[in-house]
Copies of this chain bind each other. A is one copy, B any other.
Amino acid sequence: MSSKESLSTVEKILQAAEELFAERGFDGTSVNLIAEKADVNKAMIYYHFKDKNDLINSMFERILREAEHYLKRAFAAHSDSGIEVSHLDRIEEELNFLSKRKRIISVMMMEALKGDEKDNYFFKCAERVFKHELKGFKSESGEIEENSSDRQRDLVYEFFTGFVPIIAFVVFNEKWCDYFKCDSDKAMEYFLESFRKTHLASNF
């Protein structure tokens, strides 16, 4: 099922690249190494992808689509059912979704930290989240927005005290527990408590 042999070539490449990029960074990973780990001939990588950049961009585009899909589903489900879902439950569900993709997210963050002029997929993802969470948030297209102070205020708040801590928890969880000798389940419990008492408790 999840064994290498049963996956398509493209899938094998993407999976290997994801693991290696997360482990060693994009520039620290050679195409040779990806081919080796994916158990695929190097030329096949250039058959399926224009170059190394095209490879990482495909990864990013895919997760963007997945996130879009997840958000639509999640918000639709929550408004369909009469049941009010608590913020904390939604966060747990979100953490679960994100944890499965934590390697790509790490890579996205590394690339977003660089100063070069590439597309910032980290911000793009955040934008998608805000579009669902903040009522009346629009961005797409060249439309000039009424960049009201209130919206800017909400954005800063949502990003730096909401989105960022969650993403940080996802990408640093494991390394954190190793370094500070903390049990993983405990860390999760403490994080949810912290998040509830800070971001979720504020009357923004």
Contacts and interface: CB of A to CB of B under 8 A. Distances in A.
Contacts of A112: 172, 175
Contacts of A110: 25, 110, 113-114
A117 to B, nearest CB: 10
Interface stretch (A9-17, A41-49, A74-82, A181-189): A181-189
Contact of A157 (B28, B153, B171, B194): B194
Contacts of A203: 197
Contact of A24 (B115, B149, B157): B115
A191 B191 CA distance: 21
Contact of A161 (B25, B115, B161, B180): B161
A123 B174 CA distance: 12
Interface in A149-204: 149, 152-153, 155-157, 159-161, 164-165, 168-169, 171-172, 175-176, 179-182, 186-187, 190-191, 193-195, 197-199, 201-204
B155 A165 contact: no
Nearest to A149: B186
A190 B123 contact: no
Contact of A113 (B106, B145, B156): B106
A120 interface: yes
A147 interface: yes
Contacts of A38: none
A25 to B, nearest CB: 5
Given A109-B113, A110-B114, A145-B181, 11 more contacts: A22-B113, A23-B116, A27-B28, A112-B172, A120-B175, A152-B187, A157-B190, A157-B197, A161-B194, A161-B198, A201-B201
Interface of A: 22-28, 106, 109-110, 112-116, 120, 123, 145, 147, 149, 152-153, 155-157, 159-161, 164-165, 168-169, 171-172, 175-176, 179-182, 186-187, 190-191, 193-195, 197-199, 201-204
